Structure 1
Amino acid sequence: MKDRRILPRVAAPAVATAMALGLTACGGDGTGSSASSGLTVWYGPGSVPKASLAVQKQFPGLKIKLIPTPNLETKLKTTLQTGSGLPDVVVIGNDISSYSSIEKKFVDLKSLGADPTKDYVTWKWANGTTPSGRVIGFPIDTGPQGLFYRQDLFAKAGLPTDPDAVSKLAATWKGFTTVAEKAKKAGFKVCDNANQVFFTQLEQKGQGSFTASGEYVGDSAVTRTAFYYTAKLLSSGMCTKASPYETDWNSSVAQNALGAFVGPVYEGPLLKTAGAKEGVWRVAFPPGGAGSKGGSYMAILSSSKHQKDAYKVVKWMMSPANQAAGFETDGLFPSALAAYKSPEVTAAQPFYGGQATGAVFAKVAEESPTIPVTPQDGIVEGALTGGLQSVAQGKASVDEAWKTAQAQIKKQLKR
């Protein structure tokens, strides 16, 4: 599952989930089980590598039922409340923290042999761990950031075109501003709606909306600096103000108006959707350093009567080989460290002119700091991105947008 942050963002869907699930937090662990039907796995369409769906062949002695489930977490929420009809294994998205209040409904994977200190990127393990230390999420995919750019348009603007040279020039956000200014003079933009620019700066600092202990830090100096920097890009006319996954974004790519953008690995395929020409795009290291967030997890329900077998199934489905195949065929970037050395990840990619972009994203994913993820993040992120939108639309100055967003956040957090 993909963490698609586009501006504006609908605030706090995870909070609603947490509130609903909280109704059963004080109850038992649930007795519902799919034991009579074998070992059942719920997954959202596109949330796991296709290669992992061959799991039945790997375990012929088990009766494994794979159930593709649209609106999976809505269904999971309902079944957790009733305590019946629960699967053994389920895929949970990046809002896994919203299940912390009922963490005992999920198996602590450490009890089955999971070691959150190795094999997968550290921050993924951390985000799948509850405040009490229970590991309830086994890592699936990740969302490392990169600087996607058109090498032909960069040449037109007198900018370097080699990924290493671009990474060096735009190694800092000040350097990125230099790139943005030259691009603007050449008639194109290197920023879409600036939303990802804002969040990437926070991710690089390991800055969430709250600390691991729950202290609000969405008004910190780090957040304020990122907000003001992003707002300046917008007010200076350096962004197209087009949102990924929307037609205006596709048009800006097709019409050569958008020559670069900072975004997660899973936004790369959008270029093909927009009709981008093969061979002209490249990927550089993101300005400011490594930053990642997002992706999904596999969890095992405590109600399962097949916990040990379920863990074997999860481990195989999320093996380095399956995750590597998932990058090549499904666009899911691995969390398994061993996958980063695989042919699928290190292969040259024709669309990017033969560049092995997977190597860039692997470095970003490995070097990214851990960002605390909480159920209330949506409130903060929604208000701040809404503030940036008001700047983009010319409805507020950066000072006004910042103050309004903070007031809105504090009001909602008191509820």
Structure 2
Amino acid sequence: MHTSSGRSRRVVTYAAVTALAASLLAACSSDDDGSAGDGKITLNVGTFGVLGLKQAGLYEEYEKAHPDIRIKENVIERNDAYYPKLLTQLQSGAGVNDVAAIEVSNITEIVQTQGAKFEDLGKAEGVEKSAYLDWKWKQATTEDGKTVGLGVDIGPTALCYRKDLFEKADLPTDREQLAKEWAGDWDKYVALGEKYMKKAPKGTKFVDSASSVYNAVFAGATERYYDENGEEIYEKSQGRKDAWDAAMKVARGGMSAKLKQFDPTWDQGFANARFATVACPAWMAGYIQEKTGPGGKGKWDMAKAPTDGNWGGAFLGVPSAGKHKKEATELAVWLTRPEQLAKIFAKQASFPSTPSVYDELKPSAATKAYFSDAPITRIYAGVAKNIPSAVYGVKDAQIGQSITDIGVLQVEQQGKSPEEGWEAAQKEIKDVLGQ
């Protein structure tokens, strides 16, 4: 989920920035050295967004069971800011977190280029490979069998919508009716957006951003940015084309609030009810609750999306440069056990990468009430069982971000044509790929 722009760097400049960052990290790493005045070991956990580990009380629970351990979460809101910092830390070996979250769109690059800088969690005590989804395990495993990360969550994707805004726009609010209305066809979802805009409550739009629609449609693509041989196919990819076309209809149709996802203005859009729908991978449910606040309780609902897909998901890895690898490994293993992942789901509906708990998953009463008693488990479990197999490439995240934060935004926010937007995205992609 969530990468960055501004990658047009010359090699010399990048090297200079990396060296400077490394020196600064080294100079500022006293907080990260794992020492504490009370004799406890401090384990630093690097995360992005709302991963749910802290929110579900897992750190507190672990600390109670391990009195000699203190856990500090170092969270960065957007993965596009978090991930470059992680790469700099891995490169320099300075300021590295003891446990590091890795987003699924970055896992291939980590496996293929940074695998030697992580501990092999597949050999850690207490880890059972069979507990995890097979495809999730393979994503974090090198060709020679080293597993650099354990799966936290996956991103089966639904659609979340504001019932109160739908009602004011004279649209149906029943989740089953809506799911049937747009089943199998994102164009039907867009058509509903056109209806919404005819009677939209003042100051609101149908969707938060065209990029959100792009990502939701792309989540169900079997053909993405790379083929099985690792070759880039983003230009001719049918999955990319379908997602781009849907995003362009939203951007050009005046249906979008034109918000850049995971920026402060997007967070404010939740709080101020500026949009009626948002693509809703499982991890988004917790984000919606946190950013909309108490006032959104019972106003949000959830329905099955037009197509099944996976958007996002994370892993936990243990960098080998960390000062407390043994303790960090034990923590990473514990945090990703099925019973702990079920607790995260209960708190904020982030969907576990461990299918053994699917039949017993229950969202918290607060989450169910927040989403109008929607059958959250049934919706996400149904999608999870039908997520299409997809190939991820080394620069998957960067290609996707170039498309959404350069191409889509130029059309959406600057009024450029879809052709101009795609041309700008291609230019950025080629820059990212060094072509």
Report the TM-score, using the length of structure 1 for normalisation.
0.77
Does the CA-based 8 Å contact 1:203-1:371 persist in structure 2?
no
> How far apart are residue 156 of structure 1 and its match?
4.6
**CA-atom RMSD, angstroms?**
4.1
* 1:184 lines up with 2:200 in the alignment: no
Name whichever of 174-183 and 122-131 sits farther off: 122-131
Q: Which residue of 1 aligns with 2:46?
A: 44
* 1:349 lines up with 2:368 in the alignment: yes
Name whichever of 264-273 and 77-86 sits farther off: 77-86
Does the CA-based 8 Å contact 1:40-1:87 persist in structure 2?
no
Name whichever of 38-47 and 260-269 sits farther off: 38-47
Deviations 1:278-321 (A, max 9, x none): 212201112222322232x2223557899787655433222222
Name whichever of 362-371 and 72-81 sits farther off: 72-81
Q: Which residue of 1 aligns with 2:29?
A: none
* 1:197 lines up with 2:213 in the alignment: yes
- From 66, 71, 79, the counterpart of 2:71: 66
Secondary structure, in 3 states, of the residue corresponding to 1:284? Answer: strand
Name whichever of 370-379 and 141-150 sits farther off: 370-379
* 1:286 lines up with 2:294 in the alignment: no
- From 387, 395, 401, the counterpart of 1:376: 395
Q: Which amino acid aligns with 1:217?
A: I
Does the CA-based 8 Å contact 1:121-1:365 persist in structure 2?
no
Q: Which amino acid aligns with 1:52?
A: L
Task: Label 1:370 to 1:11 Cα distance change in 2 as closer, same or farther (>3 A).
Answer: farther
- What is the rounded CA distance, in whole Å, between the counterparts of 1:82 and 1:226 in structure 2? 38
> How far apart are residue 173 of structure 1 and its match?
0.6
Q: Which amino acid aligns with 2:147?
A: V
Q: Which amino acid aligns with 2:231?
A: E
Deviations 1:103-158 (A, max 9, x none): 12323333347555x32344432332335553211012333322111224434545
Does the CA-based 8 Å contact 1:34-1:304 persist in structure 2?
no
Q: Which residue of 1 aligns with 2:352?
A: 334
> How far apart are residue 254 of structure 1 and its match?
6.3
| Percent of residue pairs bearing the same amino acid type | 26
- What is the rounded CA distance, in whole Å, between the counterparts of 1:244 and 1:303 in structure 2? 32
Q: Which residue of 2 aligns with 1:391?
A: 411
Deviations 1:353-402 (A, max 9, x none): 22242442343344323444444234422331211112213542212322
Q: Which amino acid aligns with 1:285?
A: K
Does the CA-based 8 Å contact 1:147-1:283 persist in structure 2?
yes
Aligned 1:8-407 pairs, distance under 5 A: 9-10=4-5, 41-44=43-46, 47=51, 49-50=53-54, 51-53=57-59, 54-55=61-62, 58=65, 64=69, 66-69=71-74, 77=87, 80-81=90-91, 89-94=99-104, 95-99=106-110, 100-112=112-124, 114=127, 116=129, 118-130=130-142, 133-171=145-183, 172-187=185-200, 189-219=205-235, 220-246=237-263, 248-249=265-266, 257-268=274-285, 269-270=287-288, 273-274=291-292, 276-295=295-314, 297-301=315-319, 312-329=330-347, 332-342=350-360, 344-345=362-363, 347=365, 349-385=368-404, 386-393=406-413, 395-407=415-427
Deviations 1:48-85 (A, max 9, x none): 6244323355568xx65534345786776566445588
Q: Which amino acid aligns with 1:195?
A: S
Does the CA-based 8 Å contact 1:136-1:300 persist in structure 2?
yes
Task: Label 1:229 to 1:301 Cα distance change in 2 as closer, same or farther (>3 A).
Answer: closer
Secondary structure, in 3 states, of the residue corresponding to 2:219? Answer: helix
Deviations 1:222-245 (A, max 9, x none): 212321221122112222223344
Task: Label 1:409 to 1:156 Cα distance change in 2 as closer, same or farther (>3 A).
Answer: same
- What is the rounded CA distance, in whole Å, between the counterparts of 1:179 and 1:82 in structure 2? 50
Q: Which residue of 2 aligns with 1:413?
A: 433
Does the CA-based 8 Å contact 2:162-2:300 persist in structure 1?
yes
Gaps of 5+ in 2: 20-32, 77-81
